[in-house]
Amino acid sequence: MTTTPHQIDIHEILKLLPHRYPFLLVDRVVDMELGKRITAVKNVTINEPFFNGHFPHRPVMPGVLMLEAMAQVGALLSFKSGHVTPDDSSVYYFAAVDGARFKRPVEPGDQLIVEVEFERSKGGISKFRGKARVGDELACEAELMCAMRRVDR
């Protein structure tokens, strides 16, 4: 499948993010305006390992994983916009979350649409505003900060 400059498929996501199963929480970027905003998809399936314990009688995606998905999507926006460049000697850490609100449970079979807007970047720290939806319903929203740091190997 061919993607446009405003889309990112799983192959490019794997090149940009260090995360791997079971912690990669972005399946596809469906729209992006460099330096401004990005929209991505996370397909939520029953075979994800967190559903075994959260909760066995009523599987629900943990809210912290929705926030992590937003942070991963924000990192993709930063990388593609040129704010930071991923490499083997750096890590893009989740640095802060403010104003997190959870409005709707996310269950197996849902498609989580993650929308992130870039707010600002300074000194390797970027700030974003994120929302996650299922259809037209808001599931989660928060302000996020991520920081690029060098690591010794």
State how far the Cα of 113 lies from the Cα of 105, in Å rounded to an integer.
Answer: 14
Q: What is the pLDDT of residue 82?
A: 84
The reported pLDDT for the residue numbered 88 is 75
Q: What pLDDT, in 10s, does the model give residues 85-111?
A: 677 777 889 999 999 999 999 999 999
Segment (H or E) for 77: helix 63-81
Q: What is the reported pLDDT for 99?
A: 98
Asked if 126 and 83 count as a contact pair (C-beta separation under 8 A), the reply is yes
Please indicate whether residue 54 is annotated as part of the active site: yes
**Given the residues 6, 11, 19, 54, the one annotated as active site:** 54
Q: Among candidates 87, 90, 137, 129, which has minimal Cα distance to 112?
A: 137
Residue 1 has pLDDT above 60, yes or no: no
The tokens 């930071």 sit on which residue?
Answer: 84
DSSP 8-state symbol, 16: H
* Residue range 27-83, pLDDT digits in tens: 999 999 999 999 999 999 999 999 999 999 999 999 999 999 999 999 999 999 985
Amino acid at 132: A
